[in-house]
Amino acid sequence: MAMTQENAQTLLSDTSSAKSIINRLKAPSPTIFRNIITIMIALGGLGIAILGVPATIQTFGVEFHLPSIVNQIASYMIVASVIGTFISKLTIDKEKVIEIANTNE
């Protein structure tokens, strides 16, 4: 999903529509936010792995339950990773967007 010249120009001119949000998701993010996205995805994966441990162990016939606080923390990790990833992806590297918008003019 690469940012096209038309999407870049729309993003720079219109900031209030739903199409603008879609264009922001397609736009390149600054380096720090790309790093945050990577960390958030790892955090979500860890949360999913923690929640999946009891089901995996039970497939071997062993009854196993994690304490409820561990399940709650893992659930919060997943929610935080989804929200953090989405917000980080909405940030745009305006210099790169302007560069894309000005290509082939």
- pLDDT, one tens digit per residue, over 71-91 is 999 999 999 999 999 999 988
Positions in the chain short of pLDDT 70: 1-3, 5, 7-18, 104-105
> Residue 94 has what pLDDT?
82
Joined tokens for residue 11 = 């993003």
Burial (CB count within 10 angstroms: exposed 0-12, middle 13-18, buried 19+), residue 97: buried
- Rounded Cα–Cα distance for residues 72 and 27 (Å): 34
> Residue 9 has what pLDDT?
67
